[in-house]
Amino acid sequence: MADFSKRLEENLRSIESRIAQACQRSGRQRADVTLVAVTKYARLEWVQALVELGQLELGENRPQQLWERAESLPGSVNWHLIGHLQSNKARRLFPLVKWIHSIDSLKLLSNLDRLSKELKVHPSLLVEVNVTGEASKDGFTPDELRRDWDAILTCQNVKLSGMMTMAPANENPEAARSAFRDLRSIRDELQTRLPSGGALNQLSMGMTGDFEIAIEEGATLVRIGSALFEGLQADDGLNANSP
């Protein structure tokens, strides 16, 4: 086993332990939370090693990098797009992904609704919510989401599964708690306006610096990158502010 594979295994084991402990603190089952390994800055051989270790939920920020890596990795990988999606890239991307975490406009969702019907593929979609109102972040504001919710529900070909948010950058993980709590509250509110039998079970929130707080506040998907690759020689850009 290559040295980096041993380090990856140690990092993965550590993160799994921390996820399990956060679940225990909040009275949840470990199976309630999915670890999405964010491979944005990782070298391909590192990602291949993760897959060999059994980590099959992989997230990419850019559609181009996702479809390039999908060609090099086994079909057993479940791909998550966690970054912004332009409609002109959706046709190529759609058949490759199991999840899209970044539905940030009604226009994008409407385009994907048409595409889903045409291609007969139905990845799970998460509405991105900018709960803090930061200009640097994409997504619906809570007021925009409430305003557009009925129009969102007219898109019946797609599989709307939940919501995603990013907390403000802060060295103190506790500072993220209110953002995660707000997303859960918005989800609970809008879920009451779903048609009978509908559900928004998924909450994608929490990254390397705050995923334990996110789990305590109800996250079902946590997006972790830099903690997985800690101790490896990083490509330019991999740092503590990465997912």
Per-residue pLDDT reduced to its tens digit, 123-180? 999 999 999 988 889 999 999 999 999 999 999 999 999 999 999 888 899 999 999 9
Residue 225 and residue 207 in contact, taking contact as beta carbons nearer than 8 Å: yes
Kindly state which CATH superfamily the domain 3-224 is placed in.
Answer: Alanine racemase (3.20.20.10)
The domain segmentation of the chain, as residue ranges, is 3-224
pLDDT single digits (tens) 155-170: 999 999 999 999 988 8
pLDDT single digits (tens) 30-66: 999 999 999 998 999 999 999 999 999 999 999 999 9
How far is Cα 12 from Cα 93, in angstroms, rounded to an integer? 28
As a whole number, the mean pLDDT across the chain is: 93
H/E element holding 162? strand 159-164
Model pTM? 0.93
Count Cβ atoms within 10 A of the Cβ of residue 18 and give its class: 0-12 exposed, 13-18 middle, 19 or more buried.
middle
Question: Mean per-residue pLDDT for 5-16?
Answer: 96
Residue 222 and residue 206 in contact, taking contact as beta carbons nearer than 8 Å: yes
How far is Cα 103 from Cα 199, in angstroms, rounded to an integer? 17
Q: Which two tokens stand for residue 203?
A: 């909450």
Question: Mean per-residue pLDDT for 5-22?
Answer: 96
How far is Cα 56 from Cα 109, in angstroms, rounded to an integer? 26
Work out the end-to-end distance of the chain between its first and last CA atoms, rounded to an integer number of angstroms.
Answer: 26
Per-residue model confidence (pLDDT) at position 123 = 97
pLDDT single digits (tens) 196-239: 878 999 999 999 999 999 999 999 999 999 999 999 865 434 44
CA separation, residue 35 to residues 25, 111, 205, 219, 221 (Å): 18, 28, 11, 10, 6
